[in-house]
Each structure stands twice: as C-alpha cells, then as structure tokens.
Structure 1
C-alpha cells in the first residue's frame, strides 16, 4: 500500500494506556474552515473501491430469501433493551438478522440510468466499509463454522469448518454472553474502502457506520426476542486471526452474540488462513494514522480485557441552571404503528429537508426512545452513556429556536442560548445545506479526557461506536414517525465553541439532522432479500 504524505509517527510501539495516541489522532483528523480548503484531496473515481468483499473459491451457503420482516412496532423495538431473550434456532432466523442489519434494501435509478444500491443501515458516503462475519455452532440448515456474509448475493461463504466459538470466548476472557451464544457476529472495517474518500478520518467512520448497523441489529433482536449484546473488549489479534484478516487492511471492531443457552466447545488450535479475495481497486493508499491508532488501541491479554470492561462510573450530570423544557412524548396509544421491518426497508439518508417544523412531541419521542441505553460491555447498564447530547433547534413547534443541552436523567432540554441559528448550523455541518434545512441537528460530544483515563485509547472507538448506535436509533425513530434523518460531519472545534461554556473541553463525535424530507429526483425500488 502506498503511504499518504504527512501521517508519520516517530518512536516505538505504544499500548492502550498511552492515551496521547488517541488525543493526537483526534486532533490530526479534525475538520476546520481551513483544513477542508487546503487539504488538496480529490476523488479518484477510476480507483473507487468495490462495495463488496468478494472471496474466491470458498463454499457458498445461500441464505433463505423468504425472510420474515420483524412485526414489532419500530418505536417499541428501538427502545427495548435486548439483553435477555431466546436462542437463535435456525438459518432462517440468522438470515432475518443479517438482512435487516446489513442487507440490500433499495435500488435507486437516477436520471440517465445510473443505479445505486442502498443497505439496511446508513453509511458515510455510501461506501459500506463494514463487513459482517458469523461464528456459529451447528444450526439447522448451517453447519458449525466461520462464515462471511455477502449482501450482494445474500449468501454466506465458509472460511473455516467446525465449532470455533470457544476461540472468541478465549479472546473475550470468557465473556458470558459470548460463551453461551449459538451465533456470534463480528463486525470489521476495510480501511481503504472508506479512506478512499475520507482519508485518515475514516477511522472515526468505522465506528459510526458499525453503530448504525448495530442499532438495526439490536432492534431486530429485540423484535424477535433474541438475546444480544455488544462486546468491544477482546484480544484483537485472536479475532483477526480467526477470520483470516489482513490486519493492515481490515480490522475487527466488535462482537455481537446472538441468542443464548448454547455453550461453546473448548477451542481447538486455530491455524492461519489467507483466503483469496478480489482486489478492492487498482491500488490502495495507506493512511498510517488509521493503523497507528488501531494498534495503540489493541488489548493484548485476557487480563487486559477483564480490566478494560470492569465498569464505567459516569460523572453526575451537570445541574440544569437555565430555562428547562421537560420532554413531552407522544402518548403510547397515539404512536404510529409502523413495524420495524417496514421502517428499515424504507429508511434512507435524507438528501434535502423541506424546512418545515416538526412537533415537540415528535422530537421528545425521538430523544426519549433513542437514549434508553445500550447492552454493551463498556457501559454499566440501562441509561449509562459516554455521550453528552446537544441540539440546534431550527424549527420545532412549541419550542424556541436556539441551542440546547439534553439531559436524559432529567428527561428535559436545557436552553443554553436562544436565537435563530440556521445559518450557523449550516456552517457547523461543514457548510452543508442540511444544517440550514433541518428542523433539528443533534450533536454528540464527549469528555475524552475522562473516557481515555478509564478506557485508554480503546475508549475513543467505544465512544464513537456509542454515538453511531444512538444516531442509528434516531434514524429509525425519525422514519417511524414519518420524518427524515441523515448523519452529517462537522467542524469539530467550532461545534464545541458554539455550545460552550457548557461544552467547554468536550470533543465533537457525531451529528444527526432530522426534519421533513423533501423529494429529490430519482426512482427508488425496494428490494427483497437476494434481489438486485
């Protein structure tokens, strides 16, 4: 891989506790008014990476195409906490989970005939750098093994035969949910597929894009009463080796056990494999900042894994000292009954908003439902969060325009400053019209010093992952309410400054804009599983 200029670290290897690495990465990948103008990056369309990882010569297991859509109301599924449930029973149930978190759901044909395929969860730039692998014991219709999921033909390809779940149990220091699950999904990121457009900042996007997939996955598991949990603490080299990854190009991000009550066998020896794949593009450009921060975030032993996930003590929320607006959610019997399956299939990323107001009840419902907590090894339980949530309100009925802080514990919005900030919101969102047009822009910030002190460099990815998951939940809630949503990038330090002094010292992580979608040219065709 050819190296990009300027991304060079001087010195020897670092470990997870050398948190200067995460601070340096975050600072080096900030957007600013001048960085976007002086960066000099251009998109080499002739060298754009292929959107699918294609293995050659591996056994193929077609997934059942008669997938049953989850029928639970989307707003109920998003708000559920699927840490308890039943076991996954067969290949059809696995196909359901895979389709509604990572399958091809839409085909859009633009004027002129160009077609673009969209997946169940949103992704930065539509580049889809997240891959999904399944490690399972014997299931009806699927023998034990390690498999790669390909959305293009809706099929699994077998990388290894045999029950190797015990290797993941060992890699996670016998994490109970891993040891007991019939299927463990592993989400990875292919570095170049996203860095082609976003350069070294792509490392942030790996976690955002994995997060939106996980939001769909957790909701699908809840809707089908499957136990699920996100495990972000593991020995990276063991997981990468099991999947046969080239760790300079692709890395494991998190594990998700699906189901329960199926103890794993004792792990056998895992020999190296190097399955052949079709090249992504003619050439790849290496951004060492990505491989450096990943290497500095790795956990190297079972003891290090245990210490990493031993618990997070959140700081008490800051007191509300200003004008406060308690949430006013839509009453349960008046909530839209759009099912989770319908919402996921129809969900997209809004390209243009109509500049119409949404109701305070809609905003309240989105905030309340998306912030009930995430079952993850780096979060203490329901309601625990690494994030601080801020909003720019452009147009919400019964709410003044201005800047707000959302307190989940108080279930209230605190007015930080009142005023009309549409143009400012557009500037903060990298001078994009979405910030001007949207009814609300939700920004997730975090106290990186506190997070890195507790978790080391790996905490940086964990915070980005949580932001992506909550952002994905907001997507689903917005579409369930008949609204639109889209993730957006931002000018990092300008976001912090705008919400200060309340946000002083915090780092901007992710942003989501919501509002009424405006129609844009193009014909969209909904796709059934396996259809093109």
Structure 2
C-alpha cells in the first residue's frame, strides 16, 4: 500500500535512492545496441544555417548582427563543441552544457512571434548541423501565452525558447532515477542560457508554471516520449520596450498522496504525469517564500566561521573570456589530490552565489531561478589551504562557511560517490540539498522539477568558474543518499540533490 502521508515526489525520491545493500538490484546490463540517439530530426521544414554567423568578426549590417546574436546565443547554450572518435570508430559529440553519461536528454525549440530574421512559427535547434529548422508556420504566440497563464514576460518579447526532455535517452541507462538527472541536465542548460543571453544582449525570463499538455500539443510532442519542462522568453535588450523587470518563475502543482503501487520502470513516467499543471494555478496555496533579509540556516553557536568575501572573476571585455570558457568546458575525469587555495574557493562560490558582484561586467545581478531559498549548500573540505578539513555549511547571505563536522572525509567520500575516485581525490566536494517536504508544501510535487533544475543551474556556474580558474570540476548525480547525510552530519530532512567535485585535474588531462 502506498504511504498516504507522503507526496508522490517524496515517494519517488525515497524509491530512487541508492543504498549499498540494494544498488546491485537497481542497476542492469546496458543494451548498447539500443542506445538512444541524442539528436532529434525532422523530415520537413526550412533550415536556417547558423554556422556562417559564428565568426568573431563584426557583422556588416544590422540583419547580420541579429543573426550573429541568435547563432552565438544558441551555440553557447547547447552547441556541439567537440567531436571525438571512439576506438570502435563511432563518433561522440560533446556540447556546451554537460549531461550525465553524455546522453543529452534536453531539446531546445524556439517560438517566434515574427521578427525580420525569423518568420512566425515553431523552430527546432538542430545541434548536429548548427541550424534552426522552421518546422511549423502557424502563429503560436497567443496559445503559448494562454498555456503560461498570460505571464507578463510574454507581453513584449518576440522570441521564446521551449526546453523539453526526451525521457528515454537517460532512462535507458539510469532507469527511474533518470528523472533526477534529466532535470539536473536541464539546469545546466538553463545556466548556459542565462549567461549566453548576457553575452548576446538577451535577458532570459524563466517560466516554470504552465499547462503541460497545452505546451506539448502546441509543440507537436509525443507526450509519452518527450515533454516541455521550461519556457524562456528572450527579452531583446536592444529594444527598450523589452527591458522587463524580473517576474515570478514558478507555480505550484497539486500534491498527490493517493497513488497506486507503481512497479519499477514505470515510476518515472508516473512521476512526470503527477507533477504537471492541468487546470488553473493554485497561488492561494502558496506560502510566502523566505524574505531576502531572512538569515541563512544552520547558524550553529560556537562553530568555526570563515569569511568567503572575495573579489570577482574577470570575464574579459564584452564577456569574451566567458564565451571561450563556455565553449571549452569539460568535466574532469581525475584529480591530482593537490590542494586548492582558499582564495580559489572564495572565487568559485562568489561567481556561483553572488551574481550582483558581476553587474559591472554586464551580467545580470539577479538571474532567474525557480526558488533558490529552497536550496542549501554543504561543502566537504579535504584539501583547501588555510581551511580545516571537515564539513561546512555555506551561508550565501552572510558569505561565510560554518563548520559543522571536523574530519577528513576522503575515504568516506570515495564510498558515498559509488566508489568514484573523483570523490576521494577532490579538494572540495559541494552538496546541494533541499527540505523536500517544505518544498512540496510550497510548490506541490512540481517542486521536484524546480529543485533539480536550480541545483543544475548552480552547478553549471560552478563548472564555468572552475574552468576559468584552471581548476578541475565534475558533477555527480549517483551517490548513496542517506549515507551522505549520516556521514557529513547534514540534517536528515535535507534531500541531497546534486554533488559537484572540485580540485586540480591530473596533468594528463
């Protein structure tokens, strides 16, 4: 019988936890002959080739400048940056945004209201050819506005992205737990979209509350295979009428507590169905979020507190170094075990959590997330010069680390990260967590999507900051959930969402 006191989001999280005693039963032999293809193709449509506009030379006229902005924006967000040939001769493509297992479940669509470059209709970003495919010409803006409950960010904008996920690409390898990784990957992409927008003078406005079925039908998606998960209107900062204030990003879904016994293999699809919004939103059920002035959590008396205030990472004139970093980003495969400096850790956290410090470089001082007040950050320190080993809570408002446990955790981190050497050899391992019960009370079961996308977004900022500083970084979505809380002293009601390892890569990398 299902637990009537817990929502489907909490049930799903518990059901998909890894545990040392049951991990073998939750994994299966991969059928490499049926590995999903991480690209979507259309048989018909008009293709707009974006490759000619990717050069760094100034465009000749306004039309070319607009094409150059669109091309660079999409390429920095999700373009193919490297082609590798495997020993068996097969090609593997890496993109600007990282993805667990290189499976790339996300797809990027664009809806045009009608611009000089892009006629009215639906477009798909074809990453293999770096082109925009105009596959449907019918006016779609009003139906999009209706599906998004007339969100004000759609009033004056002329283009909007629709981010979708193809469930089977990740489920092929990670089974039901793939739902977590899918949204972490989508968060990486949203992080890139935010920063690529700043480089190209667009302001992305994030929308997470929409009628799922209406958007899926608008985009002609097979909802059993692919679903929309985020809408991102693009305000053109060259048009004063599109300089819009930030607006609400998230709406609640229902809380589902009456669910049947769901067999393994079907839990992912059931979970996604239950996190959808079908009728009108429920803002009257939305409790107030944490106020901006409310203090950080876990302010333990007498604990060691270390200031993390620092200068800012320099991203170059017109964010040129940011663009280079986005295109050369790679996940580190092995660390040397060498220490980081305290200043390097400060810079990493500053770029990730203090966006207001980068306003003078042209970045948004308050980029859109779904609700960062729900996310907490803990860091296991194994090798940072000038910092005691142990587990710390990072307080972003106070900009300080607060020590909650004294210990060298290298051996335990190796185990917690499923035996991956990355956990053992990293200088610092960062954990994003959330009180899932509190999040569900605020946003319904749809909170599970929001939490993982926000964690992935933060993780992508960490990725880029580390690469810019010449450091190694790698995200980990597979870990022993409950054991993380026990070993590190993290409160048991904090659900672990994501792990990011940081250190110095081996010279061979």
TM over 0.5: yes
Distance 1:286 1:169, change over 3 A: farther
Is 2:326 the partner of 1:326? no
Question: Is contact 1:393–1:400 with CA below 8 Å preserved after alignment?
Answer: yes
Partner of residue 60, structure 1: 47
Deviation (angstroms), 1:141:
2.6
Is 2:382 the partner of 1:406? no
Is 2:147 the partner of 1:171? yes
Tell which deviates more after alignment, 414-423 or 97-106: 414-423
Partners in 1 of 2:166 and 2:381 — Cα distance? 36
Partner of residue 153, structure 1: 129
Deviations 1:67-109 (A, max 9, x none): 25699xxxxxxxxxxxxxxxx9833322211100110011234
Structure whose residues are more often helix by fraction = 2
Is 2:290 the partner of 1:313? yes
User: Equivalent residue of 1:90, what SS?
Assistant: helix
Partners in 2 of 1:399 and 1:287 — Cα distance? 44
Tell which deviates more after alignment, 163-172 or 365-374: 365-374
Matching residue within 373, 376, 384 for 2:368: 376
Question: Is contact 2:158–2:234 with CA below 8 Å preserved after alignment?
Answer: yes
5 Å matches for 1:27-426? 27-67=14-54, 90-110=66-86, 114-260=90-236, 287-304=265-282, 312-313=289-290, 316-318=295-297, 319-321=299-301, 322-330=303-311, 339-372=321-354, 375-376=367-368, 378-379=370-371, 384-426=372-414
Tell which deviates more after alignment, 223-232 or 445-454: 223-232
Deviation (angstroms), 1:113:
5.2
Deviation (angstroms), 1:64:
4.0
Deviations 1:16-64 (A, max 9, x none): xx96111111111111112322235111001101111112123322224
Higher relative CO (Cα under 8 Å, sequence separation at least 6) belongs to: 1
Partners in 2 of 1:361 and 1:163 — Cα distance? 52
5 Å matches for 1:482-501? 482-488=470-476, 489-500=478-489
Size of the alignment, in residue pairs?
465
User: Equivalent residue of 1:227, what SS?
Assistant: strand
Q: TM-score, normalised by structure 2?
A: 0.85
Deviation (angstroms), 1:163:
3.2
Partner of residue 359, structure 2: none
Distance 1:331 1:27, change over 3 A: closer
Partner of residue 74, structure 1: none
Distance 1:40 1:386, change over 3 A: closer
Question: Is contact 2:176–2:267 with CA below 8 Å preserved after alignment?
Answer: yes
Partner of residue 416, structure 2: 428
User: Equivalent residue of 2:107, what SS?
Assistant: strand
Deviation (angstroms), 1:187:
0.7
Distance 1:484 1:353, change over 3 A: same
Deviation (angstroms), 1:181:
1.6
Matching residue within 441, 448, 453 for 1:460: 448
Partners in 2 of 1:308 and 1:55 — Cα distance? 41
User: Equivalent residue of 1:53, what SS?
Assistant: coil
Partners in 2 of 1:58 and 1:224 — Cα distance? 27
Deviations 1:212-253 (A, max 9, x none): 111111111122332212111111111101111111111111
User: Equivalent residue of 2:431, what SS?
Assistant: strand
Distance 1:310 1:63, change over 3 A: farther
Give RMSD over aligned pairs.
2.8
Question: Is contact 2:53–2:71 with CA below 8 Å preserved after alignment?
Answer: no
Q: TM-score, normalised by structure 1?
A: 0.81
Partners in 2 of 1:401 and 1:249 — Cα distance? 46
Question: Is contact 1:100–1:341 with CA below 8 Å preserved after alignment?
Answer: yes
Tell which deviates more after alignment, 314-323 or 171-180: 314-323
